[in-house]
Chains A and B, each alone.
Chain A
């Protein structure tokens, strides 16, 4: 089954509204990364998280290791937020840091 499951798989948001994306993990993990893949295909780092919360401008992310999930909140969505959001969890395995990626959430922000 999916070790990292993202929801929703796709989302359409009106400009100026808020939303939350979610990742659920079925693997033991200590750290999570969130990325935005823009329409040209480049992967941009958004957050790197140990358990806790980080905020950057209109984005905020939380990683709850006890309940095995992470969320990415988008406030006041803008057109440039459109793209595919990926979360990745470090699979805890002795001596190395291997990431497992979710399948992504495709976000479209509309005017």
Chain B
């Protein structure tokens, strides 16, 4: 079974609307990450978390919030979505004790109109 799942897999939102992307992992990893992927940029880190209750800013956090209510769940929140946030979003989990190897979910394609 997939150890990192994301929902929804596809989302169309309107400018100014609120969008929540969800991620669940069954790896029992401490760390979780949100990335976005745009053509020509590879993956860029938005927010990450060390465990339940913790969120940290990544390299491109502006316009995004994150929430880690439990070990298994990590959400990415766009309070006021903009067309520039149209992208593919990936969630990952990783365990400090396993040399930080990361395992990715299948991605969420978000289109903001």
CB-contact partner of B45 in A31, A43, A98, under 8 A: A98
Residue A71 interfacial (CB < 8 Å): no
Interface of B is mostly: strand
Q: How many residues of A contact B (CB 8 A)?
A: 22
Residue A101 interfacial (CB < 8 Å): yes
Residue A33 interfacial (CB < 8 Å): yes
Q: Across the interface, do A99 and B107 meet the contact criterion of CB distance under 8 Å?
A: no
A100 to B104, CA, bound (A): 15
Q: Across the interface, do A33 and B88 meet the contact criterion of CB distance under 8 Å?
A: no
A109 to B82, CA, bound (A): 37
A100 to B42, CA, bound (A): 9
Chain B residue, CB-CB nearest to A44: B104
A86 to B44, CA, bound (A): 12
Q: Across the interface, do B42 and A103 meet the contact criterion of CB distance under 8 Å?
A: yes
A103 to B59, CA, bound (A): 15
Q: Which of B61-113 contact A (CB under 8 A)?
A: 88, 90, 94, 96, 99-104, 106-107
A100 to B41, CA, bound (A): 11
Q: Across the interface, do B99 and A31 meet the contact criterion of CB distance under 8 Å?
A: yes
A3 to B90, CA, bound (A): 21
A35 to B99, CA, bound (A): 16
Q: Across the interface, do B107 and A103 meet the contact criterion of CB distance under 8 Å?
A: no
14 pairs, A vs B, C-beta closer than 8 Å: A33-B101, A41-B88, A43-B90, A48-B99, A88-B42, A88-B43, A96-B48, A96-B50, A98-B59, A99-B43, A99-B102, A102-B42, A103-B41, A104-B42
